[in-house]
């Protein structure tokens, strides 16, 4: 019987501590965080504000260096940004305002020399068509809505054909209807383009519908509280008892009812449980 070699994780995060400085002090963002992102994952970093989820994403992008621990892509330690890891941020002003929509999408392809001008134009138009903006190729960013600007940013990132797409709360500033539309469009793109996604959010509902797996982080400093499977959910499940139960379960993981008597958070080991199970 023919045996197949198991696929290795694409991104590995091992015992990572991240710190950053403020004007007053040094802040520990995460403590001893470990997880694997496999090819084709839609992996969600979920946690309250200040738990270090955005810091973890920036470290995976090569924009932050962990104080300790290691982050590798295909077994190679990440030491800086690279075109195989493209980021989409929450801010709408991530598009140079002096470039047209088409020029914005073409720019990283030309700057990295991944394509000549004709090839970059062809690929940029392909992905603008994928996000429904081919008709706005000659528009300037200031004429676009927030949702349209995010579509351009996603098209620009996917045009680079990255090994992993990193998204930092990309829909948080959008109104509820646009946010749902963008979530649905992202999932359609994932099915069509087969990319790997590492996605930061503080919304439990968004995590459940966008992700296939969720890493739940404790409040500051971020520690791994649980890792959950959630590939079974979609927007159509919002009103179901199973979905609401999963959301409540995650809420209890994020916000335990009480702290220990000494007032300190306990370090919890990772637990792998389906999102539909009661926490122990």
Tell me the pLDDT of the chain averaged across its residues. Answer: 86
Give per-10-residue mean pLDDT for the chain (280 aa). Answer: 66 92 80 94 92 92 93 95 91 85 95 92 95 94 92 94 94 89 93 94 94 91 90 87 91 73 42 38
Domain assignment present for 49: no
Q: Please name the residues in contact with 49: beta carbons below 8 A apart, sequence gap of 6 or more.
A: 202
Tell me if 275 sits within 8 A of 228, measured CB to CB.
yes
CA–CA separation, 102 and 152 (whole Å): 9
Domain assignment present for 136: yes
Tell me if 207 sits within 8 A of 253, measured CB to CB.
no
**Model pLDDT, residue 4:** 54
**Model pLDDT, residue 242:** 92
Domain assignment present for 110: yes
Q: Which domain holds residue 120?
A: 93-161
Domain assignment present for 115: yes
Domain assignment present for 80: no
Q: How many CB atoms lie within 10 A of CB 19?
A: 18
Return phi, psi of residue 246, to 5°: -60, -40
Domain assignment present for 118: yes
Domain assignment present for 218: no
Structure tokens at 129: 């068509």
**Model pLDDT, residue 206:** 95
Dmax (CA) for the chain in angstroms is: 65
**Model pLDDT, residue 93:** 75
Q: Please name the residues in contact with 23: beta carbons below 8 A apart, sequence gap of 6 or more.
A: none
Question: Has this prediction a pTM greater than 0.85?
Answer: yes
Q: DSSP code of 5?
A: P
Q: DSSP code of 277?
A: S
CA–CA separation, 74 and 147 (whole Å): 33
CA–CA separation, 181 and 204 (whole Å): 17
Domain assignment present for 151: yes
Buried/exposed code over 66-86 (b: 16+ C-beta within 10 A; e: otherwise): beebebebeeeebeeeeeebb
The total number of structural domains that make up the chain: 1
């Amino acid at each position: 019987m023919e045996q197949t070699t198991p696929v290795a994780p694409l991104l590995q995060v091992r015992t990572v501590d991240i710190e950053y400085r403020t004007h007053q002090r040094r802040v520990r963002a995460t403590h001893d965080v470990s997880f694997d992102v496999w090819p084709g994952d839609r992996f969600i970093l979920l946690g309250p504000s200040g738990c270090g989820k955005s810091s973890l994403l920036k470290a995976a992008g090569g924009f932050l260096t962990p104080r300790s621990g290691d982050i590798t892509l295909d077994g190679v330690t990440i030491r800086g940004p690279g075109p195989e890891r493209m980021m989409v941020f929450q801010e709408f002003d991530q598009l140079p305002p002096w470039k047209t929509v088409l020029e914005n999408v073409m720019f990283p392809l030309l700057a990295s020399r991944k394509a000549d001008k004709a090839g970059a134009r062809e690929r940029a138009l392909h992905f603008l068509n994928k996000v429904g903006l081919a008709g706005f190729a000659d528009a300037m960013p200031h004429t676009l809505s927030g949702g349209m600007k995010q579509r351009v940013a996603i098209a620009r990132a996917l045009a680079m054909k990255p090994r992993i797409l990193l998204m930092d709360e990309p829909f948080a500033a959008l109104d509820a209807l646009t946010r749902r539309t963008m979530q649905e469009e992202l999932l359609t793109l994932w099915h069509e383009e087969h990319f790997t996604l590492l996605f930061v959010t503080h919304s439990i509902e968004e995590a459940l519908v966008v992700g296939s797996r969720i890493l739940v982080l404790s409040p500051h400093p971020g520690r791994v509280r649980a890792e959950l499977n959630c590939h079974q959910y979609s927007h159509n499940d919002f009103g179901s008892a199973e979905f609401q139960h999963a959301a409540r379960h995650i809420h209890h993981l994020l916000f335990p009812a009480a702290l220990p008597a000494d007032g300190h958070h306990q370090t919890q080991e990772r637990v792998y449980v389906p999102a539909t199970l009661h926490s122990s």
